[in-house]
Amino acid sequence: MVWTSCSTPNICKSRWVLVAILAAALMTACAEVPITGRHSLHLVPEGELLTLSLQQYSDVLKKSKLSNDSKKVAEVRKVGSRIAKAAEAFLVETGNQAALKNYQWEFNLIEDEDTANAWVMPGGKAAVYTGILPYTLTETGLAVVLGHEVGHALADHGNERMSQELLANMGGTALSVALTSQPQMTQQMAMAAFGAGTSIGVLLPYSRLQESEADHIGLILMARAGYDPRTAISFWQRLNAAPGSRPPELLSTHPAPETRIANIKALLPQAMTYYRPSGK
């Protein structure tokens, strides 16, 4: 063992206290991801995360043009509602009904033909951009997208990502300070964590693991909501055919197209066990 001296006992004591707090947090802050069962790190208090999420969602809506196409808006909200109900039913069935209080679902369609994207923030606040609709084509195609995005929210990837950012950028001894004494800094970190890889329509770095996990959860949710999960393959094929270069998978935060589709094909047998066709 290597011992280090400390000229100021109070400072040294404070450091050990912070280290002890961090160690305790790391041991107690693990949460199990629904459906996949993976354990993830959640260091951010749920109440603070939800407050930040609501603030950012409000800001996005104020700065965006909401679609006035009543038919498209109704479809987004219909599909979102069905996926959300499937997610809530799963939580109840697995004894996690206490988590229901953390979700206040809301689905809006933002008029932006140049953005092929969608996201769901922690707490269930969601946005779909009109630029994704040429790829979804149908209600079931939209269910692929919203199943994936609700999957991010259900897995609490926002908390996990923010926890990773806090540990990486602030260091263990500054964790408590970042969460309590510097709300602006915390908010900036939250922006790097919220949503399904997006913030105000801009793609943010989400790990390949989280993306694959959201695919997995999304397939189960859309199947439970009465949407055929097999349509996920054709949707991702259409989206992957969109113009634009892609980095090698090793350098990307998202799975390579061929990897993603292969993973989805492998998960389909499980998803199909939940699929019961439902009337539109």
* pLDDT value, residue 255: 66
Residue 279 pLDDT more than 80?
A: no
Entry pTM: 0.73
Which tens digit of pLDDT belongs to each residue from 14-41? 333 333 444 444 444 566 777 777 776 6
For the chain, the structural domain boundaries read 45-237+251-272
Other residues' Cβ atoms within 10 Å of the Cβ of residue 19: 12
- Out of 75-79, 163-167, 189-193, 244-248, least confident range: 189-193
Which of helix, strand or coil describes residue 153? Answer: helix
Instruction: Report residue 84: phi and psi, to 5°.
Output: -65, -40
* pLDDT value, residue 74: 98
Nearest to 35 by CA among 204, 274, 280: 274
Which tens digit of pLDDT belongs to each residue from 218-269? 999 999 999 999 999 999 999 888 777 554 433 345 667 888 899 999 999 9
Most confident range (mean pLDDT) of 161-165, 201-205, 258-262 is 258-262
Q: Based on the number of CB atoms within 10 Å of its own CB, is 117 exposed (0-12), middle (13-18) or buried (19 or more)?
A: buried
Give me the mean pLDDT over the 100-114 stretch: 94
* pLDDT value, residue 239: 86
* pLDDT value, residue 178: 52
d(CA 3, CA 1): 6
In terms of pLDDT, which residue wins out, 110 or 190?
Answer: 110
Q: Based on the number of CB atoms within 10 Å of its own CB, is 234 exposed (0-12), middle (13-18) or buried (19 or more)?
A: middle
Strand partners, 196: none
CA 242 to chain centre: 23
CA 234 to chain centre: 22
Alpha helices in 181-227 (DSSP H): 183-191, 208-224
* pLDDT value, residue 204: 39
